[in-house]
Chain A
Amino acid sequence: MDSLPLVVFTGQVATSVIGTDAFQEADILGITTPITKHNYQIRNVKDIPRIIKEAFYIATTGRPGPVLIDFPKDIANAIIELGNVEEVEVNLPGYQPTTQPNYLQIRKLSEAVSSAKKPVILAGAGILHAKAMEELKQYAEQQKIPVVHTLLGLGGFPADHDLFVGLGGMHGIYAANMALYECDFLLNIGARFDDRLTGNLNHFAPNATVAHIDIDPAEIGKNIPTKIPVVADAKEALKQLIKQDGKQPVHQEWHETINNWKKDYPYFYDQDAKDVLKPQKVFEMLFEKTKGEAIVVTDVGQHQMWAAQYYQFKQADKWVTSGGLGTMGFGLPASIGAQLAAPDSCVLAILGDGGFQMNPQELAVIREHNLPVKIVIINNMALGMVRQWQELFYDKRYSHSQAQIQPDFVKLADAFGIKGYCIHSSEEAESILDEVLHNNEPVLLDFRVEPGENVYPMIPAGKGLHEMEGVKP
């Protein structure tokens, strides 16, 4: 769902015993068919070069996605004459992604933009996959259209830009959701109208003409009826749109309305709280201390939403998070990948205490490769998002969401040879962050935050974009 280009190799029992329930045999093709873009089992050694080439081609082109290659043991052991790998041809008659937009559709879209009074761009991760950040900025500026981001799109449009409204969706900012609700023209670029973004579909952009640019035709019209569909790579489509250079409206009133929403309904928390460490405060400090330049990797839950709210991404490729599937345990291993890919960047692995405990063995890999990952645990002694829902929607009947027993994370880090700190106040946080954020060592920071803190604002399940709760203190 998150369109990540991955090529995964798995080991299989020898071809002679496939299908006999041999030791450690698993039907990995059958298991992964619904969750991959494509998968292969190599049955003939000669096919290895072609299949590997095809796998990388499929994973990285069109709408990116995971491809799995299953290697039976005898195939992996066999020796072949490689020949000229360059000459191996990819033969995929059923796979020809459309990247160039249809000219007539672009014209139609451009005309619709010109006649709109309250336009909004919804920018999804498609912007990042297509590397269309510059084009998006140029187009938004040319047409003066405010930009709302999806969770996975963050970084596609600079957060400090005048036209940036903010994160939309369940825990997005009021202004962004109201802009989506009130707009008369909505241009979705590379987002898939996920239910966490749209809220109740009946109340999603009820008065808007919807245009949708996506490389995957199956996403267009799937959830929201779309008047102007454009199947294309986001970068190519935006380039064409910029060239159209239609009438350049001002939308003065619309911008004022949005700016007032932004001013009147910002994210908020009790800044004067005494004796407790507010999680939001930690995020503000992390943002300031890293000047917004760190690579932020998160797990799933409350801390993920706070990170999305409080870390103001100015650049692309600084945000790694599990969106569509919301897989807890993702954060720590993903931070290893991020640090390996960007060895000179400051990588923050922001995790909840629950998600950290799903993959703590990865600390060994961090130590082994000496990766200077900064592990930030937002520890509220609970599966916070689950606890929040049980509090708000299940009459405080807490079930399996609060941690009665928790290991000492500092000692656990120590056991892996990683320095750890337990932090109870913002003063402590201040000095420790200054000390550890810029050195070349891994570190684990156990922030003991207020356990009862909830993520606000919020669109309750089944409600529309305009029915946000907790928008004001």
Chain B
Amino acid sequence: MIKRIISLTVLNQPGVLNRITNLFSKRNYNIESISVGPSELEGVSRITCAVLVDNENITEQITKQLNKQIDVIKVVDITDQSIVSRELALIKVPTLPTTRNEIYSLIEPFRASIVDVSKESIVIQITGETEKIEAFIELIKPYGIKELARTGTTAFPRGMQMQSNQQKLSIV
């Protein structure tokens, strides 16, 4: 399985997310994460989907099928481009006076921050690429994770594309 990141701009109409998720289930595609929010244009939302596929032909089909939706303006598989991709996670970790310092020392190199503190627990906020977040979760696991919420990847291409990262030609 390979992971591909597909970026879509869609008209912000009622039911548009339903149309897209419906399409994924109808065509038997596997979504790893999906994140939606307004874009720079009024009435237009950006959706970032991370999908797991067996081969690139399937991604091509996904892109084409998404493009057929009337409310979808543009679909790009941005995996092969130079991209900025970020995900946010909130992690609630129980704390004891003895472990608190250890946890603080883990947070710092990851540039995570503590956004809530109570007697028994703290809430850590971390942003970054999926791999970074996963690494952090692994590290923090031994202290126990009470609750975890992740946003899923959101991404778009960098302003400057390196020459070596040639875009694939497509006729459609």
A residues at B contact (CB < 8 Å): 29-30, 33-34, 37-38, 41, 43, 58, 92-95, 98, 102, 105, 216-218, 220-222, 229, 231
A217/B10 contact (C-beta < 8 A), A30-B18, A95-B70 known? no
What total count of A-B pairs have CB within 8 Å?
48
CB within 8 A of B70: which of A29, A43, A92, A229? A92
Interface contacts beyond A29-B15, A58-B70, A94-B69: sample of 12 additional A-B pairs, CB < 8 Å, sorted by A? A30-B18, A33-B15, A34-B26, A38-B70, A93-B11, A94-B10, A94-B70, A94-B73, A95-B70, A218-B64, A218-B67, A221-B61
A-B contact pairs, 18 of them (CB 8 A): A29-B15, A30-B15, A30-B18, A33-B18, A33-B22, A34-B26, A92-B70, A94-B10, A94-B69, A95-B70, A217-B64, A217-B172, A218-B65, A220-B172, A221-B60, A229-B171, A231-B171, A231-B172
A-B CB proximity, top 4 nearest: A218-B64, A217-B172, A94-B73, A38-B70
Residue B164 CB within 8 A of the other chain: no
Bound-state CA distance A314–B62 (Å) is 39
- Interface residue? B132 (CB, 8 A): no
List of A residues within 8 angstroms of B74 by Cβ:
94
Q: How far is the CA of A360 from the CA of B15 in the complex (A)?
A: 37
In the complex the two chains form, what is the Cα distance from A42 to B14 in whole Å? 11
With CB as the reference atom, state the residue of chain B lying closest to A98.
B172
CB distance from A24 to the nearest CB of B (A): 21
Q: Are A102 and B68 in contact (CB under 8 A)?
A: no
In the complex, how many residues of chain B place their beta carbon closer than 8 angstroms to a beta carbon of chain A? 24
Contact of A218 among B19, B26, B61 (CB under 8 A): B61
Q: In the complex the two chains form, is A93's CB within 8 Å of B15's CB?
A: no
Point out which of B22, B65, B171 has the most chain A C-beta atoms below 10 A from its C-beta: B171
- Which residue of chain B has its CB nearest to the CB of A94? B73
Residue from B14, B15, B26, B72 within 8 A of A94 (CB atoms):
B72
Interface status of B165 (Cβ within 8 A of chain A)? no
B121 to chain A, nearest CB (A): 38
The smallest C-beta distance from A219 to any residue of chain B, in angstroms, reads 9
Contacts of B26 in A (CB 8 A): 34
B144 to chain A, nearest CB (A): 41
Known: A33-B18, A94-B70. Is A221-B57 also a contact (CB below 8 A)? yes
A218 neighbours in B (Cβ, 8 Å): 61, 64-65, 67-68
Contacts of B22 in A (CB 8 A): 33-34
Would you give the shortest CB distance from B11 to chain A, in whole angstroms? 6
Across the interface, B67 reaches (CB within 8 A) one of A30, A93, A105, A217, namely A217
Q: Are B73 and A229 in contact (CB under 8 A)?
A: no
**In the assembled complex, which residues on chain B have CB atoms less than 8 Å from the CB atom of A220?**
172
Question: What B residues does A29 contact at CB under 8 A?
Answer: 15
- Report how far A231 CA is from B172 CA in the complex, Å: 7
Q: Which residue of B lies closest to A58 (CB)?
A: B70
Would you give the shortest CB distance from B19 to chain A, in whole angstroms?
6
Specify which chain A residues have a CB less than 8 angstroms from the CB of B68 in the assembled complex.
Answer: 216, 218
Q: In whole angstroms, how far apart are the Cα atoms of A38 and B18 in the complex? A: 13
A98: which B residues are within 8 A, CB to CB? 172
Q: Which residues of B contact A217 (CB under 8 A)?
A: 64, 67, 172
B57 — nearest CB in chain A belongs to which residue?
A221
Cβ proximity bits B1-15 to A, threshold 8 Å, 1 near / 0 not = 000000000110011
Contact present for B171 and A105 (CB under 8 Å): yes
CB neighbours (8 Å) of B171 from chain A are 102, 105, 229, 231
A102 to B171, CA, bound (A): 8
Q: How far does the alpha carbon of A217 sit from the alpha carbon of B19 in the complex, in Å? A: 19
A94 touches B11 (CB 8 A): yes
CA distance A47 to B15 in the complex (A): 17
